[in-house]
Amino acid sequence: MAAAVPFYKQLFQEKRPEPSYPTLPAVNEASDETNIDGVYAVGELAGTPLVLLGLNAGHELVERIGPELKSSRTDAHGDDVYDMLVVGSGSSGLAASVAAKDLGLKYITIEAAAFANTFVTMTKGKLLLAEPDGVEKKSRVWFEECLKEELLEKWRAIRDEENLNIQEYTKVVDVTGAKDNFTVKTTDGEYKARRVLLCMGKAGNPRKLGVPGEKQFGDRIHHKLLDPDDHTGQHLLIIGAGDVAAEAAIALAADDTNTVTMSAIDEEFTYPKKRNIDKLRALEEEGKLRIVLASKVTEFKEETATVEMLADGSKEDLKYDHAFEMIGAELPIPFFKKVGIKLANAWDWKRYLAVFLCFLFVYSLYALKSYGKPLASWPFMGLISEGDYLKGIQSLFDIFFLPFSWLFSDEALADMRKNRGFMQGYLYSGLYTVVMIVFGYEALMRWRKKATNKSYQTWRYATLLGFQLTFFLIVNVIAVQAMSIDYAWRFWGLYQPFPLFFNTFFWWGPWSDKTIMWFFIGAGIVASLVFMPIMARFHGKRFCTWICGCGGLAETLGDRWRHLAPKGPRSRAWEFQGFLIFLSSLLVLAVVVGAYDTQGSNIWWKSYSYVVDFWLVAVIPIALYPFFGGKVWCRYWCPLAAFNQVMSAKFGKLKIVSNDKCIQCTECSKYCQVGVDVMAFAKNTQPFDNSNTACIHCGICIDVCPMDVLKFESSGTLSIDLIKANKSSGL
Phi, psi of 192 (to 5 degrees): -100, 135
Ranges of residues in the chain with a pLDDT under 50 are 1-2, 717-731
Question: Domain of 164: which CATH number?
Answer: 3.50.50.60
448: helix, coil or strand?
helix
Q: What is the pLDDT of residue 450?
A: 84
Q: Does any domain span residue 572? A: yes
Q: What is the pLDDT of residue 161?
A: 95
Cα separations in angstroms, 110 against 39, 187, 190, 272, 422: 15, 10, 11, 33, 65
Asked whether residue 158 falls in the same domain as residue 304, the answer is no
Residue range(s) defining the domain that contains residue 624: 349-400+415-502+514-726
Asked whether residue 545 falls in the same domain as residue 476, the answer is yes
CA angle (38 as vertex; 33, 40 as ends), nearest 5 = 35
Q: Does any domain span residue 410? A: no
Inter-helix orientation angle 410-418/386-400, to 10°: 140
Q: How many residues are given for the chain? A: 731
Pairing mode of beta strands 289-292, 295-300 = unpaired
Domain's final residue, options 139, 168, 198: 198
Q: What is the CA radius of gyration of the chain?
A: 30
Q: What is the pLDDT of residue 204?
A: 62
Phi, psi of 190 (to 5 degrees): -115, 150
Pairing mode of beta strands 322-325, 655-658 = unpaired
Phi, psi of 342 (to 5 degrees): -80, 145
Q: Does any domain span residue 210? A: no
Asked whether residue 583 falls in the same domain as residue 439, the answer is yes
Cβ atoms within 10 Å of 561's Cβ, excluding its own = 18
CA distance linking residue 567 with residue 215, whole number of Å: 36
Cβ atoms within 10 Å of 511's Cβ, excluding its own = 6
CA distance linking residue 519 with residue 539, whole number of Å: 27
Structure confidence by residue, pLDDT tens digits, 150-189: 999 999 999 999 999 999 999 999 999 999 999 999 999 9
Q: What is the pLDDT of residue 203?
A: 63
What residues form DSSP beta bridges with 714?
none
Asked whether residue 371 falls in the same domain as residue 462, the answer is yes
| Element of type H or E holding 589 | helix 577-595
Please report, as a single letter, which amino acid is at residue 610.
Y
Asked whether residue 55 falls in the same domain as residue 111, the answer is yes
Q: Does any domain span residue 588? A: yes
Q: What is the pLDDT of residue 22?
A: 83
Asked whether residue 180 falls in the same domain as residue 237, the answer is no
Please report, as a single letter, which amino acid is at residue 452.
T
Q: Does any domain span residue 609? A: yes
Asked whether residue 238 falls in the same domain as residue 167, the answer is no
Asked whether residue 179 falls in the same domain as residue 250, the answer is no
Please report, as a single letter, which amino acid is at residue 578.
G
Residue 364, CB-side half-sphere exposure with 13 Å CA sphere:
8
First to last CA, the chain: 48
For residue 499, cis peptide bond before it (omega within 30 degrees of 0): yes
Domain's final residue, options 198, 226, 248: 198
CB 307 within 8 A of CB 319: no
CA angle (653 as vertex; 548, 571 as ends), nearest 5 = 60
CA distance linking residue 247 with residue 272, whole number of Å: 9
CA distance linking residue 715 with residue 537, whole number of Å: 10
CA distance linking residue 380 with residue 383, whole number of Å: 5
| Cα–Cα nearest to 645, from 542, 530, 574, 572 | 542
Asked whether residue 193 falls in the same domain as residue 224, the answer is no
CA distance linking residue 32 with residue 632, whole number of Å: 27
CA distance linking residue 177 with residue 170, whole number of Å: 20
Q: Does any domain span residue 209? A: no
Asked whether residue 538 falls in the same domain as residue 644, the answer is yes
Structure confidence by residue, pLDDT tens digits, 350-383: 999 999 999 999 999 999 999 999 999 999 999 9
Q: Does any domain span residue 340? A: no
Q: What is the pLDDT of residue 610?
A: 96
Q: Does any domain span residue 361? A: yes
Asked whether residue 592 falls in the same domain as residue 712, the answer is yes
| Cα–Cα nearest to 700, from 447, 443, 442 | 447
Asked whether residue 393 falls in the same domain as residue 447, the answer is yes
How many domains does the structure of the chain reveal? 3
